[in-house]
């Protein structure tokens, strides 16, 4: 039997308040516009750090005219009268702020929250889930770890009774671009410049190569899938900053490469977490996906080892992950 897609099942429009309107926020706005007939979301407010705030109850255009910045996040959220706050501000891997406060303010206003920001999931996942439940709203973060490729929704919907024993991932695109650039004869700085030009680095690119981005993703995965109640600081982390073109090229001549690998493993009641630059065979599944691709493998009790691969994801895929969270709020399947 063929199941027909019926747009009218999704006919409840939701109003959105975007906090942050950078690469991901703008890509999301474009996607919402592209899909507006089947999924009529309305962006009633956008709040930024330096560009100011824009609010319109009937909906904002892609290039809104920003006015003065709202005095507080609470004032902004109240003025938008939105159903969902979409948190897309810059990652702060040290303590997850101010994103965590933004999310709490949204819950206090009775709004669902979707975010692509891994900071809150890495630092305060359990508390935020409890607060969302108390407020009777949903909290979603599909894009926080794999740029929109299904990770958390996969576990939410497809794997009843399966227990995560551990995970292994190559999750940081910037470090891969830097390593590949050095293998091709460029310098570390050339690699960083290439990654920046691709728009894939964190606002502070040091977070990528020093391992903070991977540590935050590792903590987020462990918090959500293994109830680890951890933070990035508790992940044993070493980045790729000590790699040189000479070392990388010598390894390449032996058929080897380096990837910044995140590992999580249950040890009895504890969970051990680490991020390391690991030497891998070029044919290793964690090393063979091209360019900015990400790979995660889950080690489980009932499903053995399986994974998700995202080939050369871009900001459009990150926006799609957020969009999938918003659709879950529309259909009422997220709270």
Ligand X SMILES: NC(=O)c1ccc[n+]([C@@H]2O[C@H](COP(=O)([O-])OP(=O)(O)OC[C@H]3O[C@@H](n4cnc5c(N)ncnc54)[C@H](OP(=O)(O)O)[C@@H]3O)[C@@H](O)[C@H]2O)c1
Cα–Cα distance for residue pair 249/255, rounded to 1 Å: 10
Tokens of 50: 């330096």
Interface of this chain with ligand X, residues 144 to 203, rule: CB under 6 A: 147, 200, 202-203
Q: Which of 44, 80, 89, 237 binds ligand X (CB under 6 A)?
A: 89
Residue nearest to ligand X (CB): 22
Q: Which of 7, 33, 36, 49 binds ligand X (CB under 6 A)?
A: 49
Q: Which stretch binds ligand X (CB under 6 A): 17-25, 133-141, 247-255, 323-331?
A: 17-25
Q: Which stretch binds ligand X (CB under 6 A): 87-95, 218-226, 240-248, 260-268?
A: 87-95
| Residue bearing tokens 């051990």 | 272
DSSP 243: -
Cα 196–Cα 150–Cα 171 angle in degrees, nearest 5: 40
Give the residue with the Cβ less far from ligand X, 24 or 113: 24
Q: Which stretch binds ligand X (CB under 6 A): 90-98, 120-128, 238-246, 303-311?
A: 90-98
Across the beta sheet with 15-19, the strand order is: 53-55, 42-47, 15-19, 84-87, 112-115, 139-140
| Nearest of 125, 201, 218 to residue 166 by alpha carbon | 218
Q: Which of 25, 166, 191, 245 binds ligand X (CB under 6 A)?
A: 25
Cβ neighbours for 46, distance < 8 A, ≥ 6 positions apart: 17, 18, 21, 25, 53, 54, 55, 60, 64, 66
User: Rounded to the nearest whole angstrom, what is the least distance from the CB of residue 225 to ligand X in the complex?
Assistant: 18
Q: Which of 143, 262, 292, 294 binds ligand X (CB under 6 A)?
A: 143
| Cis status of the peptide bond prior to 33, with omega within 30 of 0 | no
Q: Which stretch binds ligand X (CB under 6 A): 9-17, 49-57, 106-114, 156-164?
A: 49-57
Tell me: does residue 88 bind ligand X (CB under 6 A).
Answer: yes
- Rule CB under 6 A: which residues touch ligand X? 19-25, 47-51, 88-91, 98, 116-117, 143, 147, 200, 202-203, 315, 318
């Amino acid at each position: 039997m063929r199941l027909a897609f019926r747009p009218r099942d999704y006919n409840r429009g939701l109003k959105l308040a975007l906090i942050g309107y950078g690469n991901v926020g703008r890509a999301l706005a474009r996607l919402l516009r592209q899909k507006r007939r089947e999924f009529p979301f309305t962006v009633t407010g956008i709040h930024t750090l330096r560009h100011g705030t824009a609010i319109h109850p009937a909906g904002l255009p892609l290039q809104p005219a920003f006015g003065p910045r709202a005095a507080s996040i609470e004032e902004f959220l109240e003025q938008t009268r939105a159903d969902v706050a979409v948190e897309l501000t810059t990652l702060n891997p040290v303590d997850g702020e101010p994103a965590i406060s933004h999310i709490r303010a949204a819950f206090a206003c009775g709004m669902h929250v979707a975010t692509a920001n891994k900071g809150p999931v890495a630092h305060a996942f359990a508390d935020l889930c409890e607060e969302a439940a108390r407020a009777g709203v949903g909290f979603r973060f599909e894009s926080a770890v794999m740029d929109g490729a299904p990770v958390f929704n996969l576990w939410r919907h497809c794997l009843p009774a399966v227990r995560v024993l551990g995970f292994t991932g190559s999750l940081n695109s910037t470090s891969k671009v830097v390593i590949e650039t050095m293998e091709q004869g460029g310098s570390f700085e050339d690699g960083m410049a290439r990654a920046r030009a691709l728009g894939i680095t964190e606002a502070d690119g040091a977070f990528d190569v020093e391992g903070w981005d991977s540590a935050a993703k590792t903590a987020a995965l462990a918090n959500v899938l293994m109830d680890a109640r951890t933070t990035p600081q508790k992940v044993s982390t070493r980045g790729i900053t000590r790699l040189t073109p000479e070392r990388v090229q010598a390894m390449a001549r032996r058929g080897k490469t380096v990837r910044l690998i995140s590992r999580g493993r249950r040890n009895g009641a504890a969970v051990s977490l680490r991020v390391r630059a690991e030497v891998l065979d070029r044919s290793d599944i964690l090393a063979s996906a091209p360019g900015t691709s990400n790979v995660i493998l889950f080690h489980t009790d009932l499903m053995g080892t399986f994974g998700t691969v995202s080939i050369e994801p871009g900001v459009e895929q990150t926006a799609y992950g957020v969009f999938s969270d918003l659709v879950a709020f529309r259909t009422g399947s997220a709270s």
